[in-house]
Amino acid sequence: MKLPNHNPTQLTAWKELEAHFSAIQDQTILNLFETEKDRLNQLAFTWEDFYVDLSKNRLTQKTIQLLIKLAKEAELPSAIASYFSGEAINETENRAVLHTALRAQGNTAIKVDGEDITPEIKRAKEKMYGFAKEVLSGQWKGYTGKSIDSIVNIGIGGSDLGPAMVTEALEYYGNHLTPYFVSNVEGDHHKEILKKIDPETTLFLVISKTFTTQETLSNANSIREWFLSSAPESAISQHFVAISTNLEKIDAFGIAPENVFPMNDWVGGRFSLWSSVGLSICLAIGPDHFENLLRGAGAMDQHFRDSPTEKNIPTLLALISIWYNNFWQAESEAIIPYTQYLRNLPAYLQQGIMESNGKGVDRNGNAINYQTGTLIWGASGTNAQHAFFQLIHQGTKLIPTDFIGFKESLHETGDHQAKLLSNFIAQTEALMCGKSEATVQKELEEKGLSKEQILQLAPFKVFTGNRPTNTLLIKKLTPYNLGALIAIYEHKIFVQGILWNIFSYDQWGVELGKQLSSAILEEVKNKAITAHDPSTNHLIKNCFNEGQK
Ligand code: F6P
């Protein structure tokens, strides 16, 4: 076994945490600020442009010490070493997990099966940057001699969410290329995009690690057909490029070898935006900004690998999340970026976190009897406040929430940024402090309400408070800082997987649905619907008009 293997619930620290939970569960965060005089100092961290405040959480210094003890008993430090050194820690697929190698700074060799992969990474990057420069300078021409003005990323899951989220997040750093993303299998998705583009000036990036994904191949084939309805076959090489590990399948699709950008099996789909899969990002913001994205992630990698646990931002975030998930029985976590640019960060992290840690079997292959992967949800700042914050403030569920904000806006627009930041700060204050019945009553009295009216209304206006948040305040949304932010969450995923004793880098749970949908498709095509359960049989008939109700 490449990774340590401990049932976390059997570790001493886990048992101590259970006892500790019972002892402190009734304390409020506000009271803890009274009893722990140095609380803010102990729980707020500065790293480069990041200020991370973990003090508004239902935990004490002792909790942190015990969580750190848990990490040590689970042998987290040795697991981190295995992760960075290229051991095949994705054991069920016998693969290394080396997205960190793609952004490694310096010249240290990184070996997979005894071979240094850094020269290969450098070559792939050079090819990508060279291509992006040709396209951006207008040197790369479409089949009628015009330069490219639009790019269409055709992929799904990790071959879509990362590129789409980052391209959108860094729109400010964009250029004359308009990026589009096609992912869903229904023809409507790509048809709406085809309405907006000109085949003579569009570049199509077909991205699929396996090059077998139904959605991506169906979209790529239909788009290719559409393209060939106005262009000759020979034009394919000027308009279609592929990113994949599966060279045979690309060849069968008809994409020229020189238009293929490599991908490696030591990069998981949901961690692949740093590789050639990020070609649409590289085109949309240019190679220099793309390089800064990698540098930011690389710097966070170093922080994660080299900092002691008690100062390690991704590790502390992971441990706090375990504290809520396994001791407070919190079911979900919200992620709220206070910028419209990051509106799709929660959707991106849903794949990263839930596809990685949504596992019910431990590293021995045994069913687990403790909670693993958290449910992730969220939306951008003030939009979220006007949508679902009611439930976070006054609902019955405990929802630890990450608030991500940027001190400086990218555009200067009057007092908008001051308003945004005031909201950002006010929400975490409100969640922690709440509003007592006495305060509510006083406010209502001041408004002139009668005693009876006050008694009736007050319970609805009380905020119990004591709702936990993490605040990540970052200087500015730059490619570098975005790279570091994403890397924080990637490492948080890793740490949680280690402590929960699960394999975070496979995704067998997505296979059954794919398998059954292929079978149903075949049956429908052959008009031979074999026996399913009654509900499924009826749905098939209903959808395909046989005996429709
Ligand atoms: O179905 C899930 C998944 O395998 C993801 O893990 C992956 O990111 C996505 O499908 C796309 O896979 P591919 O890049 O091989 O097309």
CATH of the domain at 187: 3.40.50.10490
139 burial (CB, 10 Å; 0-12 / 13-18 / 19+) is: exposed
Instruction: Report yes or no: 314 and 492 within 8 Å, Cβ to Cβ.
Output: yes
Q: What is the CA radius of gyration of the chain?
A: 26
Answer whether 275 contacts ligand 1 (Cβ < 6 A).
no
pLDDT in tens, 75-125: 999 999 999 999 999 999 999 999 999 999 988 999 999 999 999 999 999
Report strand pairing: 178-182 vs 401-406. Answer: unpaired
216 C-beta closer than 6 A to ligand 1 = yes
For residue 323, what is the DSSP state? I
Q: Are strands 469-474 and 401-406 parallel, antiparallel or unpaired?
A: parallel
Same domain, 391 and 416: yes
pTM over 0.85, yes/no: yes
Q: What is the number of the ligand 1 atom nearest to the C-alpha of 270?
A: 8
304, 312 contact by CB (below 8 A): yes
Q: Which amino acid is at 529?
A: I
* C-alpha distances out from residue 63 to 7, 59, 369, Å: 20, 6, 23
Domain encompassing residue 526: 509-544
Residues 268 and 374 in one domain: no
Average pLDDT, rounded, for the chain: 96
Statement to judge: residues 495 and 370 lie in one domain: yes
**What pLDDT digit, counting tens, does each position of 327-339 carry?**
999 999 999 999 9
Q: What is the distance between the alpha carbons of residues 252 and 375, in angstroms, rounded to a whole number?
A: 39
Q: How far does residue 278's CA lie from ligand 1's centre (Å)?
A: 15
Residue 268 C-alpha to ligand 1 middle, in angstroms?
9
**Does the beta carbon of 272 sit less than 6 angstroms from any atom of ligand 1?**
no
Inter-residue contact 59 to 323 (CB < 8 Å): yes
**Choice between 2 and 176, residue whose per-residue pLDDT is larger:** 176
In a domain, 1, yes or no: no
d(CA 54, CA 325): 16
Q: Is residue 105 part of a domain?
A: no
Q: Is the CB of 245 under 6 A from ligand 1?
A: no
**Domain-located, residue 520:** yes
Q: In the structure, what pLDDT confidence band is assigned to residue 549 with cuts at 50, 70 and 90?
A: very low
Give the per-residue pLDDT at 213: 94
Backbone angles phi, psi at 205, to 5 degrees: -110, 115
Residue owning the nearest CA to atom 10 of ligand 1: 157
* 166 and 201 co-located in one domain: yes
Residues with Cβ within 8 Å of 306's Cβ and at least 6 positions away in sequence, in order, are none
Say which DSSP state 395 is in. S
CA–CA separation, 546 and 247 (whole Å): 41
Task: Read off the pLDDT of residues 163-205 as tens digits, 9 standing for 90 and up.
Answer: 999 999 999 999 999 999 999 999 999 999 999 999 999 999 9
pLDDT reported for residue 547 = 47
d(C-alpha 147, C-alpha 135), whole Å = 7
Specify if 299 maps to a domain.
no
pLDDT, tens digit, 9 for 90 and up, residues 18-75: 999 999 999 999 999 999 999 999 999 999 999 999 999 999 999 999 999 999 999 9
Tell me if 97 is assigned to some domain. Answer: no
Ramachandran area for residue 312 (φ above 0: left; ψ -120 to 50: alpha; else beta) = beta
Closest of 109, 115, 96, 127 to residue 271, by C-alpha = 96
Beta bridge partners of 178: 150
The total number of structural domains that make up the chain: 4
By 3-state DSSP, what share of the chain in percent is helix, strand and coil, each rounded to 5?
55, 10, 35
- Annotated active-site positions, please? 355, 386, 514
Instruction: Based on the fold, state whether residues 209 and 134 are members of the same structural domain.
Output: yes
As a three-state string, the secondary structure of 160-223 is: CHHHHHHHHHCHHHCCCCEEEEECCCCHHHHHHHHCCCCHHHEEEEEECCCCCCHHHHHHHHHH
Instruction: Round to whole Å and give the CA distance between 218 and 216.
Output: 6
Residue 414 identity (one-letter amino acid): G
pLDDT tens per residue across span 457-483: 999 999 999 999 999 999 999 999 999
What lies within 8 Å, CB to CB, of 65 at 6+ separation is none
Same-domain status, 315 and 351: yes
Question: Model confidence at 524, in pLDDT bands (50, 70, 90)?
Answer: confident
Does residue 86 lie within any of the structural domains?
no
Q: Is 89 inside a domain boundary?
A: no
Q: Which residues contact 57 (CB under 8 A, 6 or more apart)?
A: 29, 43, 320, 323, 400, 468, 469, 470
Residue with CA nearest ligand 1 atom 8:
158
Distance of CA 496 from the midpoint of ligand 1 (Å): 22
Ligand 1 nearest-atom number relative to CA 510: 1
The predicted structure's pLDDT at residue 546: 56
Closest C-alpha among 124, 81, 77, 87 to residue 102: 124
Q: Are residues 382 and 494 in the same domain?
A: yes
Query: Ligand 1, closest atom to CA 213?
Result: 16
Asked if 414 and 502 sit in the same domain, the reply is yes
3-state secondary structure of 333: strand
Residue whose Cα lies nearest atom 6 of ligand 1: it is: 269
| pLDDT of 511 higher than 50 | yes
pLDDT in tens, 277-309: 999 999 999 999 999 999 999 999 999 999 999
Question: Is the per-residue pLDDT at 259 higher than 90?
Answer: yes
* Backbone dihedral angles phi then psi of residue 464, each to the nearest 5 degrees: -70, -25
Q: What is the pLDDT of residue 548?
A: 47
Contact 285, 271 (CB under 8 A): no
Q: How many angstroms does the Cα of residue 19 sit away from the middle of ligand 1? A: 42
How many alpha carbons lie under 13 Å from residue 533 in its C-beta half-sphere? 3
Q: How far apart are CA 377 and CA 409, in angstroms?
A: 24
Residue 509 pLDDT greater than 60, yes or no: yes
Q: Which domain-ending residue is among 290, 323, 340?
A: 290
Domain-embedded: residue 301: no
Based on the fold, state whether residues 352 and 473 are members of the same structural domain. Answer: yes
Q: How far is the CA of 196 from the centre of ligand 1 (A)?
A: 27
- Do residue 135 and residue 30 come from a single domain? no
Q: Using DSSP, state whether 54 is helix, strand or coil.
A: coil
For ligand 1, say whether the CB of 210 is within 6 Å of any of its atoms: yes
| Whole-angstrom distance, CA of residue 328 vs CA of residue 467 | 12
Atom 5 in ligand 1: which residue has the minimum CA distance?
A: 157
Please give the structure tokens belonging to residue 515: 């398998």
Nearest-atom number in ligand 1 for the CA of 158 is: 8
Per-residue pLDDT tens over the stretch 131-148 = 999 999 999 999 999 999
Give, in order, the Cα–Cα distances in Å from 424 to each of 337, 393, 406: 9, 14, 10
Structure tokens, 493: 């995923």
The per-residue pLDDT for range 342-380, each reduced to its tens digit, is: 999 999 999 999 999 999 999 999 999 999 999 999 999
Two structure tokens written together for 176: 């004359």
Residues 238 and 134 sit within 8 Å (Cβ to Cβ): no
More confident residue, 417 or 529: 417
Please give the Cα distance from 352 to 197 (Å, whole number).
31
Confirm or reject: Cβ of 409 under 6 Å from ligand 1.
Answer: no
Atom of ligand 1 nearest to the CA of 277: 14
Q: Are residues 267 and 341 in the same domain?
A: no
CB 289 within 8 A of CB 278: no
Q: Tell which atom from ligand 1 comes closest to the C-alpha of 156.
A: 11
The response to whether residue 242 sits with its C-beta less than 6 Å from ligand 1 reads: no
**C-alpha of residue 447 to centroid of ligand 1, in Å:** 57
Q: Is the CB of 466 under 6 A from ligand 1?
A: no
Using CA atoms, how far apart are residues 486 and 472, in angstroms rounded to an integer?
A: 12
Segment (H or E) for 441: helix 437-446
* 250 and 341 co-located in one domain: no
